Amino acid sequence: MVKVGILNVTGYAGMELARILHRHPGVELVSVTGRSLAGQKLGDAFPHLRAIDLTIAPEVDRSVDVAFAALPYGASAEALGPLVKSGVKAIDIGSDFRLKSVTEFETWYKVKHPHPDLIEEAVYGVTELHREKIAKTRLVANPGCFPMGAILGLAPVVREGWVEPSVIIDAKTGVSGAGRTADAAYGFSELNDNSSAYGLGGHRHEPEMTQELSAISKKGDVSVTFVPHLVPMTRGILGTCYATLTTPRTQAQVIELYKDTYASHPFASVVGKPPATKQTWGNNDCLLYPIVNEKKGRLVVVTALDNLVKGAAGSGVQNMNVMLGLPETAGLESLAIYP
Amino acid sequence: MVKVGILNVTGYAGMELARILHRHPGVELVSVTGRSLAGQKLGDAFPHLRAIDLTIAPEVDRSVDVAFAALPYGASAEALGPLVKSGVKAIDIGSDFRLKSVTEFETWYKVKHPHPDLIEEAVYGVTELHREKIAKTRLVANPGCFPMGAILGLAPVVREGWVEPSVIIDAKTGVSGAGRTADAAYGFSELNDNSSAYGLGGHRHEPEMTQELSAISKKGDVSVTFVPHLVPMTRGILGTCYATLTTPRTQAQVIELYKDTYASHPFASVVGKPPATKQTWGNNDCLLYPIVNEKKGRLVVVTALDNLVKGAAGSGVQNMNVMLGLPETAGLESLAIYP
Amino acid sequence: MVKVGILNVTGYAGMELARILHRHPGVELVSVTGRSLAGQKLGDAFPHLRAIDLTIAPEVDRSVDVAFAALPYGASAEALGPLVKSGVKAIDIGSDFRLKSVTEFETWYKVKHPHPDLIEEAVYGVTELHREKIAKTRLVANPGCFPMGAILGLAPVVREGWVEPSVIIDAKTGVSGAGRTADAAYGFSELNDNSSAYGLGGHRHEPEMTQELSAISKKGDVSVTFVPHLVPMTRGILGTCYATLTTPRTQAQVIELYKDTYASHPFASVVGKPPATKQTWGNNDCLLYPIVNEKKGRLVVVTALDNLVKGAAGSGVQNMNVMLGLPETAGLESLAIYP
Amino acid sequence: MVKVGILNVTGYAGMELARILHRHPGVELVSVTGRSLAGQKLGDAFPHLRAIDLTIAPEVDRSVDVAFAALPYGASAEALGPLVKSGVKAIDIGSDFRLKSVTEFETWYKVKHPHPDLIEEAVYGVTELHREKIAKTRLVANPGCFPMGAILGLAPVVREGWVEPSVIIDAKTGVSGAGRTADAAYGFSELNDNSSAYGLGGHRHEPEMTQELSAISKKGDVSVTFVPHLVPMTRGILGTCYATLTTPRTQAQVIELYKDTYASHPFASVVGKPPATKQTWGNNDCLLYPIVNEKKGRLVVVTALDNLVKGAAGSGVQNMNVMLGLPETAGLESLAIYP
């Protein structure tokens, strides 16, 4: 059995990694870390994980074969650097290796990158775009929760040059995306029955989208207008992508393109009705619903996923599976919990 | 005291009219109707209205001076037609007099219009655009809940020609917008903790937006791409409008334009931080937050309102106040209930 | 106009006082305080209050005629003591003057009482029980949100000796009862779609219930088993009181007793169907639904109220009205916002 | 592989059975029925089940080895009768075989029982009480969602005679307990941010509790006062049981009793902190938290479970496992989805 560790199990992404890895048939979760809760039994800190008999440690067990880091920016790279260099395969659920330009990283995150030398070999972990590279790398930069849907939603048409290289992504996220945080602004009474936009001055997930879509674009660099919105649900991201068709396309043509693109990908599903976020609750699917308005020359693509699964821990495990040569779906077969 | 009646008090807009009118200092609510609940005391049907001592009647009392109709499409016009012709001032909270083209109406609503002769004199009830005309009319077509925010959000820049006449409106609505409906799809278990897009093939509120924005546009007819989304809250619409600037504008210029436009309007407020829908819970404000991305040449305008108040009953009362020469804010001064 | 001040406007009870007092016809809100936000405009800190043109001050204006304190325990008494002694009428929304025994207070709250000399003259502010005393006092101890419903729900039968003096109160509260708090345990993601019991080892509102019910009991001291539960709503307390009838009583007898008891009280309403908390959203009603199980000899009383209104700010204003000789309902006439 | 069918897959319990059985290692789901949706692909009707390649049939395939019925009362017995008699093992998720007295059944449900001859051999499916009998029967009457928690919560002390045989159960349920229903009263706008009591005149789950607790009681028939409450969450039941100790017991004694009772039962867990319903989201645990108030001589037991899993489909599968001699936990190992 492959031995796996989680750096920072105490946030929502870390907890979700533990939940998924515990049931994974090909790996064994052997080490979980956390600063503030170090020394506690995992099940005392998080009762839903009490079936996992581990104690939260201050540092990861160095004997792991694979390490997931779910740490704040800066901290991920710092902790993973030595591990990667010592031969551990690593998946960074955090944001430290996503941007290929150190300058971009340091501009958006306002910290100095602790291991810029590792950036180049890090593979951006949208498995559906980079499966071959992920299979060979020792370091995966797992995408942000918003970029996952946006990139899967637009990649087919951007790659083919079917849309103008200027797109709008209007995303609605559940609150767990903000993490397990002690901030009055994220209190239940503040957010229940309430919706708002944020990040209007620029959100850190935008450069990821720009980088990845531009890299595959047939029409040059892509300009991304991205506005995230907080809506009162715990999990889920609903992304609505707006693009302008370069030449007329029928609904049938677009559907065919999307179905072809994702035919061999178990976790990107083109669906026949507008998806609801809850259809992915707790599982690793990204649902895609492209629709053409022929009269207006517009393409709208609606995407739905669970921000903690396909948007974080689940796609991390999917990437681990590819890195280890396991079936891509191992540990990720559960159906969504609905309603 | 002006005598007021509500046609169909049994839906959410009708109930909200009753709530507001009961506290209105200048009018007296004397008659409320409802088919299925006729004969019941209003307070037995809707306990929060038990302070209003009225029985739900099958037909409105013909002695009213003002009638609000909160009926389904087709039914509103049919019921209001004779009332208007007999001298009653009418506000249609429904959709029958919003579209100026009978053909458009019949195309979108698939019913024959019962009183096409009244369409021309009906004034579209965005008070902030048509206050003078409303003051003189006997028939107001109250706007749809989505158009209210979209039109207030884009009118200033469309009128000045500051943006290209092709706009995107991505709206997130609370569930009460669907009315008090016995449909499993609107059940709590289906919608709680869940979000989805709908109306992707075309929503009936789009032609209203197109009509009203085109009518004031300096750059010709406006093409509106409108996608509504259902999010798990009871009240509120958060609208995010995307437009492309025709020439560079600074944030300061845009703010000045919006503040000037709405300076004399008590219920359209330009705010300094992205608004949250709950800041309007139960009151008649529409909050507006325009923001320019100078580098990308984009304007984003975020709007927030309570769909049952400024999006329906509240703006209806606002229009009634203007029709009757009362203070525009009469009966509408309550602060939002927060949290 | 009577000049009113709020000590600590920055919590939910304080904000709610501001909302209600702003529309009160007989008083003027002239001073609001808050430590962390001192110097900010009230409307910048809390956008839904932007119609109130006040700046948050570090200390209350000493010229006020009436002061509300919405401060943590210990702090309320400390701040109100000097004010009361200088002639200001005071309503403590906090808990410092509720318990008549200093020992009890110090046992439950683990702080030394700063003004024990004022405890005796403080009147416990269930207006429906103590209206005459409240009219004459200069210091009202506003009840806790849970005791309000429990006391109103059980007072009629405890006073008459119709039930055994051992009762169970199972309460379900919305999250705003915990205040505006930066605690991860009250985060949206933790509490949404989730319910739990708390305070099982003893909750500070229990001695209030015991004191007040025992004081009016015909059968000696009342033993109260009180278990509060957190349910995922923002506002509202649903209280279910269980008691054992001492002698058989019919449903009609019990209803008559409750109706008689509260006939002259505008904010305690005996209702004919089980009440829902949302029927009191934003208003000052306490709804009461007693039901007898004749076969089992049990009485169950269901109560519903808005914890921030009848459970805090609203009953505070009701008490102020009585203290000032104003109509008891002044400023409190708004109907509940539903749905 | 054992072949399994679901009668009425279209309600929430039926859908949940499909979700769980699809991942079950020892059985194959081969047939699902539903009246209104017959002919539809399961995944078209319920997108989260699209991995299950079955068409909804009007009648169950008679070749199944095991049948689950998730039908309304009356209909379950009618459909299962012939199947059981033809040798199919059956689990009735419905209520037709729970009450041992036909008279009681017909009094509470107001229908004639279609197969009273099968009632005697039906085993009431609280696995933790009746595992041996379940292993030998061909017909299990799966408990109601409320009785499951109430019985597990009180069985240890009722059996030992540690409490008076008069208990109170105050339960808070998520809305999915009402099923997938097209009733305006269960609409999102009605129930969101709202709580209420119901069934105050008598709820059909009460006779089940009375029957089962009385059957094991050391102190004679148990009188159960049961009040269910609807709280705004999709899944979960929080039950708070109140009992009076017959002789003083310490907290340690009670904990030991509960731990001993459930030591060999994988899905009844005595926990050290008050449980939250969400700690069981989507899984088959029943969490139990007993607490003694020594001074008052009261025992309070808080229970938490997922009404659609341990309260319906999950315990049904647990019972099937026992009937088939499979490991009791087969197909039920998933951890709860949190948050």
C186 and A190 within 8 Å at the Cβ level: the answer is: no
**pLDDT digit string, tens, across residues B99-143:** 999 999 999 999 999 999 999 999 999 999 999 999 999 999 999
Q: How far is CA D92 from CA A281, B191, D139, in A?
A: 28, 28, 8
Number of Cβ pairs < 8 A linking chain B and chain D: 68
* Domain layout of chain C by residue ranges: 2-121, 145-307
Compute the CA torsion angle C209, C212, C217, C220 (nearest 10 deg): 70
C196 and D238 within 8 Å at the Cβ level: the answer is: yes
In the block, residue with structure tokens 């160095």: A62
Q: Measured between CA atoms, how close is C273 to chain D, in angstroms?
A: 9
Is D145 an active-site residue?
Answer: yes
B233 and D192 within 8 Å at the Cβ level: the answer is: yes
* Domain formed by A145-308, architecture: 2-Layer Sandwich (3.30)
pLDDT at D257 (0 to 100): 98
- Three-state secondary structure string covering chain B: CEEEEEECCCCHHHHHHHHHHHCCCCEEEEEEECCCCCCCEHHHHCHHHCCCCCEEECCCCCCCCEEEECCCCCHHHHHHHHHHHCCCEEEECCCCCCCCCHHHHHHHHCCCCCCHHHCCCCEECCHHHHHHHHHHCCEEECCCHHHHHHHHHHHHHHHHCCECCEEEEEEEECHHHHCCCCCHHHEHHHHCCCCEECCCCCCCCHHHHHHHHHHHCCCCCCEEEEEEEECCCCCCEEEEEEEEECCCCCHHHHHHHHHHHHCCCCCEEECCCCCEHHHHCCCCCEEEEEEEECCCCEEEEEEEECCCHHHHHHHHHHHHHHHHCCCCCCCCCCCCCCC
CB nearest to D279's CB, from A47, A52, A176:
A47
Query: How many Cβ atoms are within 10 Å of A82's Cβ, its own excluded?
Result: 11
Show pLDDT as tens, one digit a residue, over chain A (339 residues): 999 999 999 999 999 999 999 999 999 999 999 999 999 999 999 999 999 999 999 999 999 999 999 999 999 999 999 999 999 999 999 999 999 999 999 999 999 999 999 999 999 999 999 999 999 999 999 999 999 999 999 999 999 999 999 999 999 999 999 999 999 999 999 999 999 999 999 999 999 999 999 999 999 999 999 999 999 999 999 999 999 999 999 999 999 999 999 999 999 999 999 999 999 999 999 999 999 999 999 999 999 999 999 999 999 999 999 999 999 999 999 999 999
Whole-number Å distance between alpha carbons of C183 and C187: 7
Fold observed for domain B145-307: Dihydrodipicolinate Reductase; domain 2 (3.30.360)
- Rounded to 10 deg, the angle between the D206-216 and D145-160 helix axes is 20
- Are D108 and D98 in contact by the 8 Å Cβ rule? The answer is no
Residue at A246: amino acid letter: T
Name beta bridge partners: B302. Answer: B240, B289
Q: What is the mean pLDDT of residues C107-122?
A: 97
CB nearest to C234's CB, from D168, D193, D197:
D193
pLDDT at B270 (0 to 100): 98
Whole-number Å distance between alpha carbons of C202 and B152: 53
pLDDT at B308 (0 to 100): 98
**pLDDT digit string, tens, across residues B27-58:** 999 999 999 999 999 999 999 999 999 999 99
Whole-number Å distance between alpha carbons of A151 and A142: 13
Q: What is the mean pLDDT of residues D317-333?
A: 98
D188 and B183 within 8 Å at the Cβ level: the answer is: no
- Are B190 and B209 in contact by the 8 Å Cβ rule? The answer is no
A195 and B201 within 8 Å at the Cβ level: the answer is: no
Partner D, chain A 118-177, Cβ-Cβ below 8 Å: 176
pLDDT at B65 (0 to 100): 98
pLDDT-derived band of residue D223, with 50, 70 and 90 as boundaries?
Answer: very high
Whole-number Å distance between alpha carbons of D2 and D325: 12
List, by residue number, the catalytic residues of A: 145
pLDDT at B133 (0 to 100): 98
Q: Measured between CA atoms, how close is C192 to chain A, in angstroms?
A: 7
**pLDDT digit string, tens, across residues C258-308:** 999 999 999 999 999 999 999 999 999 999 999 999 999 999 999 999 999
pTM of the model: 0.98
Name beta bridge partners: D300. Answer: D242, D291
What is A127-170 written as a DSSP string?
HHHHHHHHHH-SEEEPPPHHHHHHHHHHHHHHHHT-B-SEEEEE
What DSSP character marks residue D295? T
Chain B CB within 8 Å of residue C281 CB: yes
D192 and B188 within 8 Å at the Cβ level: the answer is: yes
Whole-number Å distance between alpha carbons of B146 and B150: 6
Whole-number Å distance between alpha carbons of A108 and A209: 14
Fold observed for domain C2-121: Rossmann fold (3.40.50)
Intrachain domains D2-121 and D145-308 with the same fold: no
Which of C21, C80, C139, C145 is the catalytic position? C145
CB nearest to D193's CB, from A49, A193, A336:
A193
**Nearest Cα to Cα of residue B144 among B270, B308, B21:** B308
- Hey, what are A180's tokens? 């397990």
C175 and A188 within 8 Å at the Cβ level: the answer is: yes
Show pLDDT as tens, one digit a residue, over chain B (339 residues): 999 999 999 999 999 999 999 999 999 999 999 999 999 999 999 999 999 999 999 999 999 999 999 999 999 999 999 999 999 999 999 999 999 999 999 999 999 999 999 999 999 999 999 999 999 999 999 999 999 999 999 999 999 999 999 999 999 999 999 999 999 999 999 999 999 999 999 999 999 999 999 999 999 999 999 999 999 999 999 999 999 999 999 999 999 999 999 999 999 999 999 999 999 999 999 999 999 999 999 999 999 999 999 999 999 999 999 999 999 999 999 999 999
pLDDT-derived band of residue D64, with 50, 70 and 90 as boundaries?
Answer: very high
Partner B, chain D 221-280, Cβ-Cβ below 8 Å: 232-234
pLDDT at B310 (0 to 100): 98
Q: Is the dihedral of CA C313, C316, C322, C323 positive or negative?
A: negative
B96: Cβ contacts below 8 Å, ≥ 6 apart = B73, B74, B76, B77, B80, B105, B113, B114, B115, B141
Q: What is the mean pLDDT of residues C183-193?
A: 97
Residue of C163, C170, C251 to mutate, testing the D interface (most D Cβ within 10 Å of its Cβ): C170
- Nearest residue of C to residue D190 by CA position? C339
Three-class SS of residue A238? strand
Q: Measured between CA atoms, how close is B156 to chain C, in angstroms?
A: 23
**pLDDT digit string, tens, across residues A160-209:** 999 999 999 999 999 999 999 999 999 999 999 999 999 999 999 999 99
**Nearest Cα to Cα of residue A311 among A260, A339, A275, A277:** A277
Query: How many Cβ atoms are within 10 Å of B200's Cβ, its own excluded?
Result: 17
Q: Measured between CA atoms, how close is C157 to chain A, in angstroms?
A: 35
- Are D195 and C307 in contact by the 8 Å Cβ rule? The answer is no
Whole-number Å distance between alpha carbons of C64 and C324: 13
**pLDDT digit string, tens, across residues D108-153:** 999 999 999 999 999 999 999 999 999 999 999 999 999 999 999 9
**Alpha helices by DSSP H, D86-205:** 102-109, 127-136, 145-160, 188-191
